[in-house]
Structure 1
Amino acid sequence: MTPISLTRLDLTSDPAARRVVKDETVTVEFAREAGSLMSLEGPNRYGPGDALITGATGERWVVSRDRFDAKYVAHDGVAHGDAGAYRNVPVAVLAKQMQEAFSIARSEAGDVLHGEADDWVMQYAPGDYGVVKAARFAKVYKAL
């Protein structure tokens, strides 16, 4: 079966969407140069200074530096901007569990991520998306 391609998704009016919040301490390194990291959901390109994150369940992904600074706080004595432990700022986001395989761009003209049936499509803000595997979602997200 061919995965569905999600475009211009707006979960704010979708009755199947849930408001959830992430609760996780992650390990962070900051990129010294541009590159690409392969997450479970697809490629994540990054630039110098972007955050290269390893989650509590071992998954890896990238967060641009401006988004990282707004979404994570240093933890366990780490100075903000240094490599080490960070906690996410608890912010409600929209999530929908998909019933079939799908793909979605992280942002306009961004990297394309892929999910399987039962994975979750995330909407962090208008035009800002993610994909979370079902097992990881169950471990680090809580319904509001």
Structure 2
Amino acid sequence: MREFHSAGAGGGAPALLGEPGVVRVQKRAMRVMVRFATQPETIHTREGPVRARAGDAVVSAPTGEQWPIERAAFEQRYRPAGPPGAYYSVPRPSLAVRMTDPFAVVLGDGVSRLSGQPGDWLLDYGDGHFGIVGAEIFAATYTMLD
């Protein structure tokens, strides 16, 4: 199984740039609810458990799906949207490739590991972080730039 590692450094990851079928995409602005972890916890995502540290944002989509984001990355990707806890995602370009085989992503904490299935999208957010997005969610939340 192929494995990709979040590096924590900005710019496109060479591992993804070399993938056939890589495209530039942009997340659509969407409203989400956010809380900030007050202590370490584990968030159970579709792709696997992810550790959140105190201060990390825990984002909840309208579908109920949750995922943690390191505070610095959160501040780059989201803006307040009015009521307390409401935020909008900031549309920003990312690199993506639809994977044809099972794969994994090791997150920046070096411990949390996401599992992707054929048809899922591997995303490079351009800030050193990778993510996995299921095909249905990808189609609803991303726009192709290429």
What TM-score results when the alignment is normalised by the length of structure 2? 0.84
C-alpha distance in 2 between matches for 1:108 and 1:15: 28
Residue aligning to 1:6? 3
Residue aligning to 1:135? 136
Greater RCO between the two (CA within 8 Å, min separation 6)? Answer: 2
Identity of aligned residues (%): 34
Unmatched 5+ stretches in structure 2: 6-13
Aligned to 1:11, what secondary structure does the other structure show?
helix
For the 8 Å contact 1:123–1:130, the answer to whether it is kept is yes
Q: Which stretch shifts more, 13-22 or 103-112?
A: 103-112
Query: 1:110 Cα deviation (Å)?
Result: 4.1
C-alpha distance in 1 between matches for 2:127 and 2:38: 29
C-alpha distance in 2 between matches for 1:110 and 1:64: 14
Residue aligning to 1:69? 75
Query: 1:136 Cα deviation (Å)?
Result: 0.5
What TM-score results when the alignment is normalised by the length of structure 1? 0.85
Using a 3 Å threshold, how does the CA distance of structure 1 residues 108 and 65 change in structure 2: closer, same or farther?
closer
Query: 1:55 Cα deviation (Å)?
Result: 1.4
Residue aligning to 2:104? 103
Unmatched 5+ stretches in structure 1: none
Query: 1:15 Cα deviation (Å)?
Result: 3.9
- Structure 1 outlier segments of 4+, above 6 Å: none
RMSD over aligned CA atoms reads 1.8
C-alpha distance in 1 between matches for 2:113 and 2:17: 21
C-alpha distance in 2 between matches for 1:101 and 1:14: 15
Aligned length: 136
Using a 3 Å threshold, how does the CA distance of structure 1 residues 71 and 126 change in structure 2: closer, same or farther?
closer
